[in-house]
Homo-oligomer: A and B are copies of this chain.
């Protein structure tokens, strides 16, 4: 294993460093605060993550759509709680060319209002339900908190928002479960560990009945929200007067859910699988899965043999459907090449020198452990396939173990406070179910409540540390992003 000391002790700087060093995302030079540029290598990571999300939704009957970016102020204001939640952070377009616009246009902060507005035209009957739409778009929030690349942006460039419609509350509850299953599948494919919590009443999505959130713990002990699922009830359909015909011929407002994943999924992927040399890519996502580094040694004859052997190995790998790059830059030494590709997290490196050429082998180096082995070329496709599987399992297990080690369940508020204030991670304490006690604990712990474990976990026998009454469940606290 590569050391993770710098990664852990200095995570925020490590993250900035890896984004720059691996040419993933150029942040801070673009002349608008809170907005960055996806560079080619980063874009390829993002693209594969997006494909994974699409696939998980498409297989569950979701249909992709694309709505306009601009939402008229009048539309955004229809749902009162909703606009209250976003009002302070909406960007407004006020002019077209040199003329002022009649109605101000918002850069979408999220699309519940515009989608419900159009659903009202499209959906007339329970026969069309359930309906599951999604889009992958940019959203904009005029953040006043300190911005962070990919984590707290003013333009979130990768917002997957799903919006569903149902003919009963029960079916919307089933949809919440389906969304959670889809998200679990997505994060599991990426080896990203998560905690699922039902958010406290005061921290739910503006306009929702309730919000279920996926969080992860970053190397600095702070919690990052990486996905949310909302049951919207009939809040939006009522204010938009959107009714459908039900199976008993009556008419009623349908039920909705919405759920989203943002750029943070890529930030997390890069972060949780990092070490002091850079990030480590999950092989299925890696833009480059195998890099071949020729090792120049010996005389002209050896060099020719190496070049020929590299070509042979490349052909074998490409025929096996792998994404391979040969780094044959003459002006760069092998050591610098190793460093370069390690920062980018390429899962497997093959070193090829005169000996490998002679023996028809390669020296294979795993990025996660840096273990070396000699592999005959004929066994290469099957060996790499196995190594990819091992890297994935190893990264996933390591990330889960790391996250679990940072969760402390305790009935003692002092212990919880110490855990949280030292940025160790998440503290879980017993809770009576009373919102006031939960809010009091936020103050005492100087931390934010993530809410209660989902599915709900029993805390029988424990007492709420605030009021002393019997606890009904646990509640989570942490320093958050």
Contacts of A32 in B (CB 8 A): 68, 70-72, 105
Q: Given the known inter-chain contacts A93-B107, A95-B94, please indicate yes or no for A29 contacting B64, CB distance below 8 A.
A: no
Indicate if A92 sits at the interface (CB-CB under 8 A). yes
What's the dominant secondary structure at chain A's contact region?
A: mixed
Q: Are B26 and A121 in contact (CB under 8 A)?
A: yes
Q: Are A65 and B40 in contact (CB under 8 A)?
A: yes
- Interface-central residue, A63, A75, A92, by most chain B CB under 10 Å: A92
Contacts of A94 in B (CB 8 A): 92-95
Q: Are B118 and A29 in contact (CB under 8 A)?
A: yes
A100 to chain B, nearest CB (A): 10
Q: Given the known inter-chain contacts A89-B97, A91-B95, A94-B94, please indicate yes or no for A31 contacting B75, CB distance below 8 A.
A: yes
Contacts of A88 in B (CB 8 A): 97-98
Indicate if A1 sits at the interface (CB-CB under 8 A). no
Indicate if A338 sits at the interface (CB-CB under 8 A). no
Chain A interface size band reads: 35 or more
- A38 to B44 alpha-carbon distance, docked (Å): 25
Q: Are B90 and A66 in contact (CB under 8 A)?
A: no
Indicate if A87 sits at the interface (CB-CB under 8 A). yes
Q: Are A43 and B64 in contact (CB under 8 A)?
A: yes
Q: Are B26 and A38 in contact (CB under 8 A)?
A: no
- A297 to B259 alpha-carbon distance, docked (Å): 45
Indicate if A307 sits at the interface (CB-CB under 8 A). no
Q: Are B157 and A66 in contact (CB under 8 A)?
A: yes
Indicate if A69 sits at the interface (CB-CB under 8 A). yes
Closest 10 CB pairs of A and B: A96-B142, A40-B63, A35-B68, A38-B66, A92-B95, A88-B97, A94-B94, A97-B142, A43-B64, A91-B93
